[in-house]
Chains A and B, each alone.
Chain A
Amino acid sequence: MEIHWHWLIVIYLFLGGLGSGAYLTSFAAEKGWLGKNSSLARAGYYLSGPLVAIGTSLLVLDLGQGFHQPWLLIRLILNVQSVMTWGVYILSAFIIVGVIKGYAVFKHIKIPAALTWAGTVLALATGTYSGLLLSVVDAVPFWNSPVMPFLFVVSGLSTGLSATCLLAPLVEKGSINEGREGQVHLGVVGLELIIATIFFGTMLMGINGPIGVESAKIVLIGRYAIVFWGYFVGLGLIIPLIVYLLQFIKARKESKLHLTQIDFSNTEQAAASENGHHSYLNKFTDVAVLIAGLALRALILFSALPLWDGVSIL
């Protein structure tokens, strides 16, 4: 099996998803979808542009001519038929909008809502692109699945949400406000579980032919089984599902309790217990989600068997 794209591309795809998810997290927080006065309304914007820019520079490092003849890179915008060229447009635009939005939020400068919305669309496009780049390759059955872009978008959302939660306490002065991020993350991870099951399930069932099955087997029961079950499923799906689910149940019970007791003096205590999302357990969960996101990209790239190995004839 020949692998042409290695860790630099794994990290590039990972950071693309992460930056996209981070932007969307802060956008959701800004819109109030993560609860009132969410503390996540800025950190994600700070992360988005710079992280995608770092990812893109890693991609340039991987190019055979990145250093030899860097002026050739201007040609990357030429082939409008190429998904990679679409990526150049999307990522360049997203980096610019992400950096502007991050700077504006930092400096408390008001920017047009249209620009923020453009960033949201570009964030979704960035996440989608990182999967689409692979899913259009007919000669690699494992990649050639229409589910791939969805898997990458939702995994990017999860990692983006985690990275934003990790950064928020460092950039927000004063107390951190616990919102609905735990609940939202529970939903995102649940969705990721469903999409990943569809992706690996259909692949294993042979929807993309015997080579697709072989690739899926490498991941599920073969060479990378430990990475898959331990890092991706364990760290990225099971742990966050359990942690967020338990916190969700606990929070509901408590809020019910307070409602029945109508005990207004206890609200402070309730707020303290709801601060769970920024506890050490949550920090651990967020780091686990990030490792899982990286593992997913590595699994997808390193298990890509070509339709034909280029050597065997029957």
Chain B
Amino acid sequence: MDSPERKSISRRKLLKIGALATATIATGLHPILMAGADNGQDIPQNPNQIGFVFNQELCIGCRSCMAACKKTNNWEEGTMWRRVLQFEKDRIHLSISCNHCEEPACVTACPVKAYTKREKDGIVIHDPDKCVGCKYCLYVCPYHAPQFSEHTGRISKCSFCYERLENGEQPACISACPTGALSYGKLIELRTAAAYTEQPKGLPDPKITKPSWVIIPKA
């Protein structure tokens, strides 16, 4: 006698499960790309990860780093691999390029795998010959490191001058810096040093991509 009732309940259940499953599929995919962003910044996952150091106390805003980078890397028209930003009031500067993040959003987002993160030193290298120019990385990078050239229709960005490193040279920007404001080193060593930050005021939360940089702020 109770069979029709049971049937209707089970059908309702089925609908519920179906709706839940759809919702789960739709929302469940969402956190996949955002997982694991709550580790501390201090200990790099890769002990060999290198990063730029920028000392705001020492920078005089001469932009030699930009000029040297442009010359060495032959910036494609309309691109700026390194930028020197200035906070007018206090003459505080920030020289910024790619932060070769520990969790680079560009590597995850790029559909054609034009980005690779090297195991041996954590440098994030972009291969313009693989880039299709979809511009997704322009949105996902919080630091505006990838640069699109309308002229060539593709992205390019800072490579940490890895070819120079392999020849025992320093990155061009660091060689050119007259005051020593810009340098680099192994992140694991740099982060034991004095007062530093990964988030200069006004910049994005480092938890998003874990940038491999060390900023020594102006006292």
Contact = CB atoms under 8 A, between A and B. Distances in A.
A78 B110 CA distance: 9
Interface stretch (B63-71, B148-156, B169-177): B148-156
A150 B27 CA distance: 9
Contact of B201 (A5, A311, A313): A313
A293 interface: no
Given A4-B148, A136-B34, A138-B105, A64 B203 contact: no
B162 interface: no
Interface string B175-191: 00000000000000000
Interface string B94-115: 1000000000010111111100
A72 B154 CA distance: 12
A149 interface: yes
A63 B142 contact: no
B47 interface: no
A138 B112 contact: no
A84 B113 CA distance: 11
A140 interface: yes
A153 B23 CA distance: 12
Contacts of A69: 132
Given A307-B204, A310-B144, A153 B26 contact: yes
B204 A139 contact: yes
B113 A78 contact: yes
A84 B142 contact: no
A295 interface: no
Interface string A45-66: 0000000000000000011111
B17 interface: no
Q: Is the interface of A mostly helix, strand, loop or mixed?
A: loop
Contact of A82 (B27, B29, B110, B200): B110
B172 to A, nearest CB: 21
Interface residues on A, range: 35 or more
Contact of B26 (A62, A72, A128, A140): A128
B60 interface: no
A306 B30 contact: no
B204 A64 contact: no
A27 B187 CA distance: 56
22 contacts: A2-B138, A63-B153, A66-B132, A75-B111, A76-B112, A78-B112, A79-B112, A84-B111, A84-B134, A132-B29, A132-B30, A136-B34, A137-B140, A139-B208, A140-B139, A308-B143, A308-B203, A311-B85, A313-B86, A313-B94, A313-B203, A314-B201
- Which 10 A-B pairs rank lowest in CB-CB distance, beginning with the nearest? A64-B133, A64-B153, A310-B144, A75-B112, A314-B202, A314-B201, A84-B111, A139-B142, A4-B135, A85-B111
